[in-house]
Amino acid sequence: MYENVIKRAFDFVLALVLLLLFLPVILLTALFLKITQKSVIFTQLRPGKDEKPFVIYKFKTMSDERDEKGELLPDELRLKSFGKLVRSLSLDELLQLFNVLKGDMSFVGPRPLLMEYLNLYNARQKLRHRVRPGITGWAQVNGRNNISWERKFELDVYYVEHISFFLDLKILCLTAFKVLKRSGVSKEGQATTEKFNGKN
């Protein structure tokens, strides 16, 4: 009842309110990204509930700069100062409010990862796909990108097995605190999160 009705209604109403509230921030972020790196929106296919694919929307924080061979430069060279600011403030996640409105995502749930990871999960890790993926989650407020993949998946499955209104409320409050502190955005010395290979 909570997950399928109350949680979905809460997600829809809150996403609509936040989109109206943050519309000036969204427009300004889009404008500055257009000026600094030309491209604005990043879209990618991600697995949702029951592993059903959906298109995720994010602000694009890295440029498309390439070397003389036509290959993309390393992430740390494509992540410019404004992109770093957008990422540190979690503004890149604002466009996922549209995903929440559509019903692809929830405010709280396991983060939607890459399609290529689906075949790398063990049976227990696959449980993370029993619920809608979230903008934030139990793993995000317990280390975010500073913990191992194995630990992240443990926390994701814990959430799936203990989903409740009070846990969601706790996660949302902790998320606001983490965003204000800008903590756990990336690991020390890394611009982006290392890829999951089925072992780490």
Give tens-digit pLDDT for 99-117.
999 999 999 999 999 999 9
Contact criterion met (CB below 8 Å) for 192 and 75: yes
Mean pLDDT (the chain) is 88
Residues sharing a CB contact under 8 Å with residue 147, sequence separation 6 or more, in sequence order: 139, 155
Question: What CA–CA distance (Å, rounded) separates 189 from 107?
Answer: 29
Question: What CA–CA distance (Å, rounded) separates 181 from 75?
Answer: 23
Q: Note whether residue 176 is domain-resident.
A: yes
Question: What CA–CA distance (Å, rounded) separates 60 from 111?
Answer: 17
Q: Note whether residue 193 is domain-resident.
A: no
The number of beta carbons lying within 10 Å of the beta carbon of residue 99 is 25
Q: Note whether residue 191 is domain-resident.
A: no
Q: Note whether residue 29 is domain-resident.
A: yes
Query: Domain range spanning residue 118?
Result: 5-181
Q: Note whether residue 194 is domain-resident.
A: no
Answer whether residue 7 shows pLDDT above 90: yes
With cut-offs at 50, 70 and 90, classify the pLDDT of residue 161: very high
Structural domain count, the chain:
1
